[in-house]
A and B are shown apart, each in its own frame.
Chain A
């Protein structure tokens, strides 16, 4: 149980690092457009050359 004296402060350090990264992400504008970015992953970027019409090979 005495390991808790080490583990809990360690996890707090991790927390601080996590929050720091979150702050950086917000400041660099990654949370500015929540709608567009969510749908962006659904668009196929590699189909351009082989299938411009988007017919999925039909």
Chain B
């Protein structure tokens, strides 16, 4: 059974529902239930009818404190006033939104936020995942707006990187303008050319011929000077660097064709190629634009993830006499070593430091991948980015910002990525040789005709350059990549970097992390062993009530098991269990030995738990009620997914930091070729490097922060959709759907993609090589050159679109 909201499987024992559009729909967790209820209560249930994309499971256990964003110190950075007048209350902010799956999400957000009193304008950009909000500061606070977004399941954060966004937006708009001018110019010049071609067959009167030529030139001039400008700039740059790029013959052809045609117009002789020039420019620009869109999309999906530290911290001002003074909220950036900060339970620790007061448990998953809370007391060191789970802590700051251990790990990733093996695209390599060949051939043709019939020399050479212009070649790759990227996105794999599709097609070994990748990463109820006296459902209800307030990962397994009971006097002993009072009876859940000591009846665990299983005893003061077995469940499609990967001829490997017994058992169960256990992040990276040095092309799939370095070093990396922000930020692609079977589909698509690109390149080459001798003989008039170019470009694009249907 799948959750109606996020489409992930509903764990056994969970029984949550929301009535949507008249029917009761299952939910997989309280997070999805809360979001679905908010959507329905807001009268926006139509969202489920409109949506076409993936919905993310909302993070129910993250306590985002949005109040920090109301502080003026923090708002100074992100919020801009709409009016230049003093004391204006109309302000605006650009937000980064996580969780947008399709245009219906934009509709939902705009509707939901637009209803808040004081919000003036909400516009969501589905492509860039940004939201522009204008509101009245006096009527509503930014924190209210952000909280409203989280109610419907989207996490929003003010976007800070103005410069990059501006540059990208400018690049996109400029390219569109150039494309528009080239397209319009192409069509106008084309129309006039038809008249001229007809006239070439039928005897057009000289004054009309001249007139139409002049008009063609007037139209082609902005196309060449404005739209084609990037080609000239790139060609010039590459020539200075002694590199031959495709832009060199392109620029040469365009410049020569235009100049020669202009001269022909002025002198009234020879042929004009204005329509070919405009057509070139348009097709080549179209290819570049597709490439740019893919590149921009990659960059967008990568940034905007990864705010690991809170924006503000509570600094304790030291009063005179050395005793701590009043608390104040300051931006985390303003903290200095030696100061004291107070971190409340549920908050992220903002710096590296030493605990001066307080005892608590801290979840260090950010650094180690370990979900088990670690006990910390006075004198212990804590790290930035870790989560304080239990009690308030008073911490003395040791390192902030770039000096923290978190920052060091992120730098390790960046370095791993810089050394990543790169693949030069097939078309680019071909282009290099092709360019040289064309230039040589063109010069040869010119010399030949100069001796034979000097009048024709220029025109024949021009037609050679025009005909062999690598239009189809330059469209070959981007067209295919654009279609393939979109197809992958539809299957649930968000491609983040340009080399992903090529790398996936060439991969011969897939390496998996264990916890959170092949398994769901959260404890769920495997089975309930009742010892009599209580039904399984009742046992789960009691357990859920006892664990209700705890933030321990074990407690998460019980969410949704029924909360009709209420408990008092709950005592949560981390590491041992929970005891509480329900309906005047004391119940306890947890370790057998502890409960035995608590209630006075010794209990033995007679069954040896299988590896990976956690057996919890549930007992009342009077009797033992039974056992609840938790385990980290294997993903439902893991077995099938691995079979499919093997069927594709790939070697599979398990690389984990966990204990050997657990890793070996899982590798056996899934039929993997090899496995490695107990690996630290550095060891994982070293192993990948070793595989690469043996010639393997490695595809790495992971989810934990401890996987981040190895994800950066693999040829292609995939992060699970539920992975932590920083993991998704540094992986090459994100598996949004969480379905492992998508991997096999994606690899098959990537291989098809590689074949289609090769087909396109071969076709483009054949066309050029056939047309070259024809042009060298002087047999190709301008209309034939234009026709040949459009047909070959069309063939390449249509071949690319074939990917959609196979």
Contacts and interface: CB of A to CB of B under 8 A. Distances in A.
A57 interface: no
A23 B177 contact: yes
Contact of B184 (A1, A4, A15): A15
A48 to B, nearest CB: 7
B45 A53 contact: yes
B180 A19 contact: yes
B102 interface: yes
A19 B103 contact: no
Contacts of A43: 46, 50, 104, 107
Given A19-B181, A44-B46, A39 B102 contact: yes
Contacts of A53: 21-22, 43, 45-46
Contacts of A18: 184
A19 B180 CA distance: 8
B388 to A, nearest CB: 39
A42 B50 contact: yes
B683 interface: no
Contacts of A19: 180-181, 184
Nearest to B46: A54
A33 B125 contact: yes
A5 B211 CA distance: 8
A39 B103 contact: yes
B127 A32 contact: yes
A24 B125 CA distance: 19
Residue among A35, A44, A47 with max Cβ neighbours from chain B (10 Å): A35
Interface in B23-62: 43-46, 48-50, 52
A9 B45 CA distance: 55
A31 B181 CA distance: 15
B153 to A, nearest CB: 18
B152 to A, nearest CB: 15
A53 B107 CA distance: 15
Contacts of B568: none
Interface stretch (B168-176, B323-331, B438-446): B168-176
Contacts of A1: 208
B219 interface: yes
B43 A40 contact: no
Nearest to A47: B46
B665 interface: no
B677 interface: no
Contact of B180 (A26, A33, A54): A26
A52 B43 contact: yes
Contact of A8 (B48, B126, B180, B215): B215
A54 B45 contact: yes
Nearest to B215: A8
B211 A12 contact: no
Contacts of A55: 21-22
B140 interface: no
Contacts of A9: 215
B106 interface: yes
Contacts of B43: 48, 52-53
Nearest to A27: B173
B393 interface: no
Contacts of B44: 52
B125 A54 contact: no
A36 B124 contact: yes
A39 B125 CA distance: 12
Interface residues of B, number: 34
B125 A36 contact: yes
Give chain A's interface residue range (CB within 8 Å of chain B): 20 to 34
A12 B126 CA distance: 37
Nearest to A8: B215
B21 A31 contact: no
Contacts of B176: 26, 31
Contact of A26 (B106, B177, B218): B177
A27 B169 CA distance: 10
A55 B344 CA distance: 46
Contacts of B173: 26-27, 31-32
Contacts of A27: 173
Contacts of B127: 32-36
Given A38-B103, A39-B103, A39-B104, A32 B177 contact: no
A44 B107 CA distance: 10
Contacts of A32: 125, 127-128, 169, 172-173
Contacts of B404: none
A55 to B, nearest CB: 6
Given A12-B218, A54-B21, A55-B21, A33 B126 contact: yes
B107 A40 contact: yes
B414 interface: no
A41 B188 CA distance: 31
A36 B106 contact: yes
Interface in B449-473: none
B208 to A, nearest CB: 8
Contacts of A52: 43-46
Nearest to B49: A54
B180 A22 contact: yes
A52 B177 CA distance: 41
Interface string B165-209: 000010011001100110010001000000000000000000010
Nearest to A40: B103
B116 to A, nearest CB: 15
Contacts of B103: 35-36, 38-40
Given A12-B215, A26-B177, A39-B126, 14 more contacts: A12-B219, A15-B184, A23-B177, A23-B180, A26-B176, A36-B126, A39-B102, A40-B103, A40-B106, A40-B107, A43-B104, A52-B45, A53-B22, A54-B48
- 9 closest Cβ contacts across the A-B interface? A54-B46, A36-B126, A52-B43, A39-B103, A33-B125, A36-B103, A35-B126, A53-B45, A33-B127
28 contacts: A5-B211, A9-B215, A12-B215, A12-B218, A15-B219, A19-B180, A22-B177, A23-B180, A26-B173, A32-B125, A32-B169, A33-B126, A34-B127, A35-B103, A35-B127, A36-B103, A39-B52, A39-B103, A42-B50, A43-B104, A43-B107, A47-B46, A48-B43, A53-B22, A53-B45, A54-B21, A54-B48, A55-B21
Interface of A: 1, 4-5, 8-9, 12, 15, 18-19, 22-23, 26-27, 31-36, 38-40, 42-44, 47-48, 52-55
Interface of B: 21-22, 43-46, 48-50, 52, 102-104, 106-107, 124-128, 169, 172-173, 176-177, 180-181, 184, 188, 208, 211, 215, 218-219
